[in-house]
């Protein structure tokens, strides 16, 4: 059976197409594109992706409105059942606002929007989304965000580190994130949120392919499961 994924589009999402192209390139089948107002997700999805962008114009807080949209209730239910969910940039913000991931993404410490390719260290190479990498591997992936400053209290940070739930760290902290955290996993390991954009680094023409192994590793594992 063909790999079945879905990309959720909110009003103001702008990386949904990039995400869809990356998924199709690696999986060989195009993802379903789901509108935020849809109240139901198709059954049997192998992966759900929440793309980057500025859902609802970042009103109130980045990701806050999207986290309360009808489709997110379905995404939360699916995640609780173990369906893999990948949130990139605004998608990460939505996942924290929906409480699928701990912590919050605050305004960058510099106050500036940052848009450049950064170096990341793969901290956990055992999870579904990171098994395409080697532990400790350094990869280059672009970031483009204004609110990527990861915050959680010390107790939560200790727990995340103790449970191996820090997926990626910035080699050079670009936004003020606590403990240089660029991406975190939920406890079960089926939900990953990250500020850098792996879907923007899956083709040599993008200037790098640092994000390719994320999609390849996850899709290969899910396709053979």
Partner 1 sequence: MKIRVLVSLKPGVLDPQGRAVHHALEGLGFKGVDDVRIGRTVELDVADDTSDTALTEMCEKLLANTVIENYTIEKLD
**Which residues are at the interface with partner 1 (CB under 8 A)?**
60-61, 64, 68, 96-97, 102-104, 106-111, 149, 151-153, 176
In the bound state with partner 1, the residue whose beta carbon lies nearer, of 165 and 200, is 165
CB of 111 to partner 1, least distance (A): 5
Hey, which bits of the chain come out as E strands? 5-9, 32-35, 47-50, 85-88, 104-106, 114-122, 138-145, 149-151, 166-170, 181-185, 191-194
Told to judge if 154 belongs to the known catalytic residues of this protein, a careful annotator would answer no
In the bound state with partner 1, the residue whose beta carbon lies nearer, of 52 and 102, is 102
CB of 50 to partner 1, least distance (A): 17
- Residue 36 DSSP label: T
CB of 159 to partner 1, least distance (A): 14
In the bound state with partner 1, the residue whose beta carbon lies nearer, of 103 and 193, is 103
Q: Write down the catalytic residue from 74, 97, 123, 199.
A: 199
Told to judge if 89 belongs to the known catalytic residues of this protein, a careful annotator would answer yes
Separation between Cα atoms, residue 96 and residue 81, nearest integer Å:
18
Q: Write down the catalytic residue from 74, 197, 206, 216.
A: 197
- Collect all residues with Cβ–Cβ distance below 8 Å to 131 and sequence separation of at least 6: 125, 217, 218, 221
Cα 20 to Cα 78, 88, 142, 161: the distances in Å are 19, 13, 17, 31
With CA atoms as reference, report the closest residue to 211 among 132, 141, 133, 138: 141
In the bound state with partner 1, the residue whose beta carbon lies nearer, of 4 and 68, is 68
Q: Write down the catalytic residue from 89, 145, 146, 216.
A: 89
- Residue 34 DSSP label: E
Separation between Cα atoms, residue 101 and residue 134, nearest integer Å:
24
CB of 84 to partner 1, least distance (A): 24
- In contact, 92 and 49? CB cutoff 8 Å: no
CB of 104 to partner 1, least distance (A): 4
- Residue 40 DSSP label: -
Catalytic site residues? 89, 197, 199
């Amino acid at each position: 059976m063909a790999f079945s994924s879905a990309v959720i589009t909110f009003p103001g999402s702008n990386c949904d197409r990039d995400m869809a192209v990356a998924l199709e390139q690696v999986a060989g089948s195009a993802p379903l594109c789901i509108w935020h107002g849809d109240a139901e997700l198709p059954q049997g999805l192998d992966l759900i992706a929440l793309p980057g962008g500025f859902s609802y114009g970042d009103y109130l807080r980045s990701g806050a409105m999207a986290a309360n949209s009808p489709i997110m209730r379905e995404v939360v239910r699916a995640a609780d059942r173990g369906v893999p969910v990948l949130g990139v940039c605004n998608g990460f913000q939505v996942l924290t606002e929906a409480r699928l991931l701990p912590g919050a993404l605050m305004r960058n410490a510099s106050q500036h929007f940052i848009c450049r390719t950064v170096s990341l260290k793969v901290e956990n190479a055992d999870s579904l989304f990171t098994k395409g990498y080697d532990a400790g591997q350094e990869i280059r992936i672009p970031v483009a965000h204004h609110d990527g400053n990861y915050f959680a209290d010390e107790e939560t940070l200790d727990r995340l580190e103790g449970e191996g739930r820090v997926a990626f760290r910035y080699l050079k902290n670009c936004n003020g994130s606590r403990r240089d955290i660029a991406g975190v996993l939920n406890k079960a390991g089926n939900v990953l949120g990250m500020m850098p954009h792996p879907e923007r680094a899956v083709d040599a023409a993008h200037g790098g392919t640092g994000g390719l192994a994320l999609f390849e590793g996850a899709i290969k594992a899910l396709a053979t499961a």
